[in-house]
Amino acid sequence: MQKPDIIKAGHIELLVTDLGRAKEFYVDALGFVATESTKRRLYLRGLEERYHHSLVLTESDRPGVGHISFKVKDTEDLKLIEELVKKRKGYSDWVDGKESGVGRTLLTRDRFGFPVEFYASMEGANWMLQKYDKYRGAKIMRIDHFNIMLPDVAAAYEWYVKDLGFTCTEVTETEGKNPAMWAAWLRRKHTCHDIALTTGKGPRVHHAGFTVGDRLSIMDCADLLASAGYLDMMERGPGRHGVSNAFFLYLRDPDGNRIELYTGDYLSSDPDWIPIRWKLNDPQRQTFWGAPTPVSWFNEAMNVRSPKTGKFESLSDPEIVDRPDYLLHAK
Amino acid sequence: MQKPDIIKAGHIELLVTDLGRAKEFYVDALGFVATESTKRRLYLRGLEERYHHSLVLTESDRPGVGHISFKVKDTEDLKLIEELVKKRKGYSDWVDGKESGVGRTLLTRDRFGFPVEFYASMEGANWMLQKYDKYRGAKIMRIDHFNIMLPDVAAAYEWYVKDLGFTCTEVTETEGKNPAMWAAWLRRKHTCHDIALTTGKGPRVHHAGFTVGDRLSIMDCADLLASAGYLDMMERGPGRHGVSNAFFLYLRDPDGNRIELYTGDYLSSDPDWIPIRWKLNDPQRQTFWGAPTPVSWFNEAMNVRSPKTGKFESLSDPEIVDRPDYLLHAK
Amino acid sequence: MQKPDIIKAGHIELLVTDLGRAKEFYVDALGFVATESTKRRLYLRGLEERYHHSLVLTESDRPGVGHISFKVKDTEDLKLIEELVKKRKGYSDWVDGKESGVGRTLLTRDRFGFPVEFYASMEGANWMLQKYDKYRGAKIMRIDHFNIMLPDVAAAYEWYVKDLGFTCTEVTETEGKNPAMWAAWLRRKHTCHDIALTTGKGPRVHHAGFTVGDRLSIMDCADLLASAGYLDMMERGPGRHGVSNAFFLYLRDPDGNRIELYTGDYLSSDPDWIPIRWKLNDPQRQTFWGAPTPVSWFNEAMNVRSPKTGKFESLSDPEIVDRPDYLLHAK
Amino acid sequence: MQKPDIIKAGHIELLVTDLGRAKEFYVDALGFVATESTKRRLYLRGLEERYHHSLVLTESDRPGVGHISFKVKDTEDLKLIEELVKKRKGYSDWVDGKESGVGRTLLTRDRFGFPVEFYASMEGANWMLQKYDKYRGAKIMRIDHFNIMLPDVAAAYEWYVKDLGFTCTEVTETEGKNPAMWAAWLRRKHTCHDIALTTGKGPRVHHAGFTVGDRLSIMDCADLLASAGYLDMMERGPGRHGVSNAFFLYLRDPDGNRIELYTGDYLSSDPDWIPIRWKLNDPQRQTFWGAPTPVSWFNEAMNVRSPKTGKFESLSDPEIVDRPDYLLHAK
């Protein structure tokens, strides 16, 4: 079957309980650029992005994720995806016009329970890349990737690689004689990833990653957040990842939603790329400098709202119970 | 006609008159990683590259360029290109095995007089990205692009965009009521460009661009070259480009061949990217901070050796005689 | 005779013809912190400074310098300086209360024609160093030094070193068999300098240097000024100095007054420091990377207003006519 | 009584059990410059230092500290210190010639049990500051400070401030109605400190701080150590201090001796500097971003060898038992 031509991770909809408070965090502190605001929604983009939004904040009674979203090449690709989703027993709906700035829109609930949107076009917006006098906060450049947590990574890997045409750049395997795939990093655009799959209770979205220009933008952002009263929002980092080689800082927004500031992975344009392999207990896998990841990073993630029912998805535990050993002793 | 699937700028062959002296510059000072050396050749790569080489230095009685080279998806694409070159009255030859590490190789002389090689596979090499204790010099990451100078940019634009499937990210146009295309930046991988076309006496290769990790790597490299006796090798920069937004430093090697250290352009994965347009006399076009480009940058470039005759190509003047106005008064 | 205990370069008064326009440049673009404003004056400080001001902008009908100013240890030192100035046939006056925030103030016209103020105390101001969320523009940290231009550097050297107790860190000498002192860098605080003396038409103040945190603050500032319509204000740099080893960017304010953004010199606490010696024609002396300094940098400087007469000082030519050779051919 | 004129923290002697292994760490990995080596000693300096050494590694059967050392203005100051030490019931000895490159040398055991050396002159060494092609590893610039741990900080504060003439820049106080001084940062040179006093079991030296050029040098060093097999040597950081505002990385050498890489504190030349005050439980005091300090940082320090007996000093507990509250729950 023909594969759809997916271009890149496009945007994410985060649910927030107080839009004003969320604006203070994302716009005033982090420096996202506001493209449009409505009573219940704020559409944001990065300095490098020439499209309407890469982050939508929607006021809701509960935090979490409304949908993650991929841009495809053209509308034919949307139809291909609709067929694939149906074939794999997912749900899909055409929801054109519900989200500002987006063209024809296919909103799906894939069979793993994730709300995933696809679209081929989005309204343009001013390029801020060379408006250096408007740079603020973390100097967010663009959305980079989604990291999702689910019980069956191997099945989701099949869906994304075989059906949707993603390329695998890195994997984490369990220890022992018969290693299982514990996590996978998959890309369409030429970076380390557009989506990462991690074993855990799900369906949940672990975080969305946003690219910043360099390591000092992340250092400066940590200083800024620590000065601006957001000390508790810094969950992990700054540090260097083993996987992806990127420099990172994980933040929780005032509702507990998690985003990553991310910079410094590699170009991965080659179709014959051989995936980098990591073992689950390698101390340099998550943080190249060896610092342990906080327990909250493994236990907490964002719940997702079903496009089909409008309710939050219930969670299932993974069959693979392996976790890094040090967590046994961590608080 | 079906378009070949070209992946990225792959490597360049530079001709040097003293291989030992060239090694001191590229390996000892700039920190390129040596993969293999033969009596007359040195194969080099960047820290991020997992393939045999992105730069070949070949000892020769004259400096210049042996070939520029693109990687394609698979061998079928090579055949498509062979047909296209023939159709456009270029010359091509299968030269498998002449260059170490490369698979099936099509070496062409396109109708503009450039020696352009295509290949689908290359031997692997150790990934140095996370061998930070081996980083040296400018911490070269990977090859990024070629910039070529030729009399008829519009015709070459047609070839690269219509026939070979490149996407245009930025253009420079002449001033006046009927602007002509003076330069164009074209990409296959998701960066600003894999090749840039510039109006001028040609066929000549203006420079090859190599990516470094960040702006401070370029600053550090300038300090290092100034300390190591390579003061005269720094032709232009460090500075910020208007076009591409990248941070740059232009170097001349001991033979006068020109390379660029380059960092900080943008992701350009979108097929519906609208080209950024610049006017030839915009003072921020070449250097965003307004500093004038040295005259040598406009007048000097690398001659190319014909795959067909083994001799250096003779040069033709462009019909478009426009150049930035300030050059009239520059020394 | 006992030497006064001078602490550091304290502040400078710049004369501007349009206070509102100056505020846009210094506060809105460069990010100086405003401590106090009156109808004709704006008192500014850097993020690291815990005192009322290091830069005073005074509205005037002509640009230039009102005074440069040194902080001394206590009021006894002011009296010592008063005696020294008299002994050396300078003029002095106690001008307490004329400048906001400053304690007992001795304003002198030294025998070289410079308006130099001395004071022992200044009102405190909030420390912004760890208010990272308030950082703006070039992230100016503090005043660092003055660079003055005058006909007789050797005599001024005697005054600053022998009478006022400065330590010499670096010198530039003319070429030839009997080299003369062409410029000198003198310090009280433990940096490369508090004042530099340069041979030229004088008395004029060449520039005041302000420290920023790191090299990227200077790069970011160049991007910002180029975006904000201040392209023509960037006179020289960014680059690395040979003398002082500092990274620099020279700016002209909207009135043509010159300041330097400066970072990365060395600690110079040692009383037995042996001065670093440079020859006038060393191509790495001014810019370590070899880039020539623009001619305006040698020809233009800020005129000074006499505390004695209230008029601008007339200028004299130096006896030493040596200048770097390349200026003979520069435009 | 007249105060001696102490210039700065001069150097430290660290005792190592395997000089070859220590050389690999300090020279090959961290990039200290070797000035001289003997069978049992290695004399090292930073890139910015123009003197023989700031770090001496001495092979010994036990790790720890041989002495910390301050440079004074001239030999008269040594005599003043000798008298002061005697008056305060310490021990002192003239040990000229025992350490290479150092002039007249007074080695004391102060009444707190610390081995402290004073000297007025040291042999010169080549300035590497502008030999950028020789920069390696962490690009160590110079020694900055000592941090010592002892039971009675208040008494040591008196000694350093009242007798030796240090200026206090910052203090940490215990919580509650009658706060006690828990730690103090004292300076002679114009930085945040030359010596810090911390409450704890002592006499022990907690660490010696070495200055690097900027934050990225610290980030790069973390990457390098993680690549070079020194993962376990990174005890804390990289991060931003609250106290001092500096950016830091704490390292343990292969013998467990602790050094700090340090950059980005402030100029503190003012004699009327008002100390910055911190409370012991302020979560931003140690790390401005709120990350807790590892327990080892509070419990482990370097033992000191007595100049009087040649044996290691026995330890006493402090009367002030306060420690940051979070340590009660930390592992």
Structure confidence by residue, pLDDT tens digits, A183-237: 999 999 999 999 999 999 999 999 999 999 999 999 999 999 999 999 999 999 9
The residue with tokens 């804390």 is: D236
The model's confidence at residue B219, banded by pLDDT at 50, 70 and 90, is very high
Question: How many interchain CB pairs under 8 A, C with D?
Answer: 73
Q: Which of B129, B132, B139, B219 has the most D C-beta neighbours within 10 Å, making it the best mutation to test the interface with D?
A: B132
Largest separation between any pair of C-alpha atoms in chain A: 56
The residue with tokens 């008298």 is: D83
Among A129, A264, A269, the residue with its CB nearest the CB of B189 is: A269
Average pLDDT over residues C161-188: 97
Give the model confidence (pLDDT) of A20-72 as tens digits: 999 999 999 999 999 999 999 999 999 999 999 999 999 999 999 999 999 99
Give the Cα separation of B193 and B268 in Å (integer).
Answer: 9
**Is C219 at the interface with chain A, CB within 8 A?**
no
Measured in Å, how far apart are chain A's first and last C-alpha atoms?
Answer: 48
Residue C39, C-beta contacts closer than 8 angstroms, at least 6 positions apart: none
Q: b/e for D79-103, b at 16 or more Cβ within 10 A?
A: ebbbebbeeeebbbeebeeebbbbe
Q: Could you give the strand order of the β-sheet that contains A64-72, starting from the edge strand earlier in sequence? A: A33-37, A41-45, A55-59, A6-16, A64-72, A115-119, A105-109, A91-94
Average pLDDT over residues C156-175: 98
pLDDT given at position C280: 96
Residue C160: beta bridge partners? Answer: none
Q: Nearest-CA distance from D224 to chain B in Å? A: 5
List CB contacts (< 8 A) between C234 and chain B.
289-290
Mean pLDDT of chain A: 97
**Is D226 at the interface with chain A, CB within 8 A?**
yes
**Is B226 at the interface with chain D, CB within 8 A?**
yes
pLDDT given at position C148: 98
**Is C48 at the interface with chain D, CB within 8 A?**
yes
Decide if B227 and D131 are in contact by the 8 Å CB cutoff: yes
pLDDT value at C1 more than 80: no
Decide if D289 and A331 are in contact by the 8 Å CB cutoff: no
Closest CA to D19 of D50, D34, D49, D40: D40
Instruction: Please state, in angstroms and as integers, the Cα–Cα distance from residue A223 to each residue in A23, A246, D276, D290, following that order.
Output: 19, 19, 19, 10
| D51 contacts D8 by C-beta, under 8 angstroms | no
Among D134, D135, D224, the residue with its CB nearest the CB of B133 is: D224
Output the six-digit token pair for C329. 């051919």
Output the six-digit token pair for C71. 């902080």
The model's confidence at residue D265, banded by pLDDT at 50, 70 and 90, is very high
Decide if B132 and D216 are in contact by the 8 Å CB cutoff: no
**Is A24 at the interface with chain C, CB within 8 A?**
no
Average pLDDT over residues B285-289: 96
| C51 contacts C127 by C-beta, under 8 angstroms | no
**Is A100 at the interface with chain B, CB within 8 A?**
no
pLDDT value at C144 more than 70: yes
pLDDT given at position D237: 95
Give the model confidence (pLDDT) of B78-96 as tens digits: 999 999 999 999 999 999 9
Give the Cα separation of C86 and D222 in Å (integer).
Answer: 57
**Is C328 at the interface with chain B, CB within 8 A?**
no
Among D133, D214, D227, the residue with its CB nearest the CB of B133 is: D227
**Is B295 at the interface with chain C, CB within 8 A?**
no
pLDDT value at B330 more than 80: no
pLDDT value at A159 more than 90: yes
Give the Cα separation of A286 and A240 in Å (integer).
Answer: 8
Decide if C191 and D190 are in contact by the 8 Å CB cutoff: yes
List CB contacts (< 8 A) between C247 and chain B.
219
Give the Cα separation of A236 and B252 in Å (integer).
Answer: 44
pLDDT given at position D269: 97
pLDDT value at C133 more than 90: yes
Average pLDDT over residues D240-255: 98
**Is C221 at the interface with chain A, CB within 8 A?**
no
A47: nearest CA partner in chain B: B266
**Is D129 at the interface with chain B, CB within 8 A?**
no
pLDDT given at position B329: 76
B136: nearest CA partner in chain D: D136
Q: Is the Cα torsion angle A44, A45, A46, A47 positive or negative in sign? A: negative
Output the six-digit token pair for B81. 């290109």
C234: nearest CA partner in chain B: B289
Percent of chain C with pLDDT over 70: 99
- DSSP letters spanning A306-323: -TTTSSBPP-B--S----
**How many CB atoms sit inside 10 A of residue B235's CB?**
18
Decide if C191 and D267 are in contact by the 8 Å CB cutoff: yes
Closest CA to A11 of A171, A142, A154: A142
A-contacting residues of D 68-97, CB under 8 Å? none
Question: How many interchain CB pairs under 8 A, A with C?
Answer: 33
pLDDT given at position C30: 98
List CB contacts (< 8 A) between A224 and chain C.
132-133, 135
Instruction: Please state, in angstroms and as integers, the Cα–Cα distance from residue C125 to each residue in A31, A223, B189, C50, following that order.
Output: 28, 21, 53, 5
| B12 contacts B304 by C-beta, under 8 angstroms | no
Decide if B219 and C231 are in contact by the 8 Å CB cutoff: no
**Is A158 at the interface with chain D, CB within 8 A?**
no
**Is C238 at the interface with chain B, CB within 8 A?**
yes
**Is B295 at the interface with chain D, CB within 8 A?**
no
Give the Cα separation of C302 and C305 in Å (integer).
Answer: 10
The model's confidence at residue D331, banded by pLDDT at 50, 70 and 90, is low
Decide if A264 and B213 are in contact by the 8 Å CB cutoff: yes
| A130 contacts C227 by C-beta, under 8 angstroms | yes
Decide if B227 and D130 are in contact by the 8 Å CB cutoff: yes
**Is C229 at the interface with chain B, CB within 8 A?**
no
Q: Which of C136, C214, C220 has the most A C-beta neighbours within 10 Å, making it the best mutation to test the interface with A?
A: C220
**How many CB atoms sit inside 10 A of residue C173's CB?**
17
The model's confidence at residue C331, banded by pLDDT at 50, 70 and 90, is low
**Is C134 at the interface with chain A, CB within 8 A?**
yes
Give the Cα separation of C296 and C331 in Å (integer).
Answer: 9
pLDDT given at position C329: 76
Partners of chain C (3+ Cβ pairs below 8 A): A, B, D
Mean pLDDT of chain B: 97
Closest CA to B139 of B50, B15, B263: B263
Output the six-digit token pair for D145. 């400070």
pLDDT given at position B201: 97
* Residues present in chain B in total: 331
**How many CB atoms sit inside 10 A of residue A101's CB?**
19
Among B7, B71, B269, the residue with its CB nearest the CB of A7 is: B269
Among D29, D134, D227, the residue with its CB nearest the CB of B131 is: D227
pLDDT value at D308 more than 80: yes
pLDDT given at position A147: 98
Among C231, C234, C290, the residue with its CB nearest the CB of B231 is: C290
3-state SS class at C76 = helix
pLDDT given at position D2: 85
Q: Which of A6, A50, A287 has the most B C-beta neighbours within 10 Å, making it the best mutation to test the interface with B?
A: A50
Q: Nearest-CA distance from B222 to chain C in Å? A: 7
Closest CA to C144 of C259, C67, C286: C259
Predicted ipTM beyond 0.90: yes
Among B190, B191, B214, the residue with its CB nearest the CB of A214 is: B214
Give the Cα separation of D174 and D197 in Å (integer).
Answer: 14
**How many CB atoms sit inside 10 A of residue A328's CB?**
7
List CB contacts (< 8 A) between D214 and chain C.
214-215, 264
List CB contacts (< 8 A) between A243 and chain B.
none
* Residues present in chain D in total: 331
The residue with tokens 């330890």 is: D315
Closest CA to C314 of C142, C77, C112, C118: C112
Give the model confidence (pLDDT) of A271-284 as tens digits: 999 999 999 999 99
Residue D103: beta bridge partners? Answer: none
Q: Nearest-CA distance from C239 to chain B in Å? A: 8
Closest CA to A191 of A258, A264, A287: A264
Decide if C226 and B331 are in contact by the 8 Å CB cutoff: no
List CB contacts (< 8 A) between D331 and chain A.
329, 331
pLDDT given at position A134: 97
Give the Cα separation of B53 and B43 in Å (integer).
Answer: 6
* Residues present in chain A in total: 331
Average pLDDT over residues B70-77: 98
User: Burial of A310 by CB count in 10 Å (0-12 exposed, 13-18 middle, 19+ buried)?
Assistant: exposed
Average pLDDT over residues C233-241: 97
| D109 contacts D307 by C-beta, under 8 angstroms | yes
Q: What predicted TM-score, i.e. pTM, was given to this entire model?
A: 0.97
pLDDT given at position B82: 98
Antiparallel, parallel or unpaired: β D64-72 and D115-119: parallel
List CB contacts (< 8 A) between C228 and chain A.
132-133
The model's confidence at residue D143, banded by pLDDT at 50, 70 and 90, is very high
Give the model confidence (pLDDT) of B133-178 as tens digits: 999 999 999 999 999 999 999 999 999 999 999 999 999 999 999 9
Give the Cα separation of C7 and C77 in Å (integer).
Answer: 10
Give the Cα separation of C160 and A109 in Å (integer).
Answer: 78
3-state SS class at A121 = coil
**Is D289 at the interface with chain C, CB within 8 A?**
no
**Is D228 at the interface with chain B, CB within 8 A?**
yes
3-state SS class at C283 = coil
Give the Cα separation of B212 and B230 in Å (integer).
Answer: 19
pLDDT given at position B331: 59
Tell me, letter by letter, the H, E, C secondary structure of chain B.
Answer: CCCCCEEEEEEEEEEECCHHHHHHHHHHHCCCEEEEECCCEEEEECCCCCECCCEEEEECCCCEEEEEEEEECCHHHHHHHHHHHHHCCCEEEECCCCCCCECCEEEEECCCCCEEEEECCECECCCCCCCHHHCCCCCEEEEEEEEEEECCHHHHHHHHHHHCCCEEEEEEECCCCCCCEEEEEEECCCCCCCEEEEECCECEEEEEEEEECCHHHHHHHHHHHHHCCCHHHEEEEEEECCCCCCEEEEEECCCCCEEEEEECCCCCCCCCCCCEEEECCCHHHHCCCCCCCCHHHHHCCEEEECCCCCCECCCECCCCCCCCHHHHCCC
Distance of CA B207 to the CA centre of its chain: 5
| D31 contacts D135 by C-beta, under 8 angstroms | yes
Among B7, B274, B288, the residue with its CB nearest the CB of A270 is: B7
Give the model confidence (pLDDT) of B5-61 as tens digits: 999 999 999 999 999 999 999 999 999 999 999 999 999 999 999 999 999 999 999
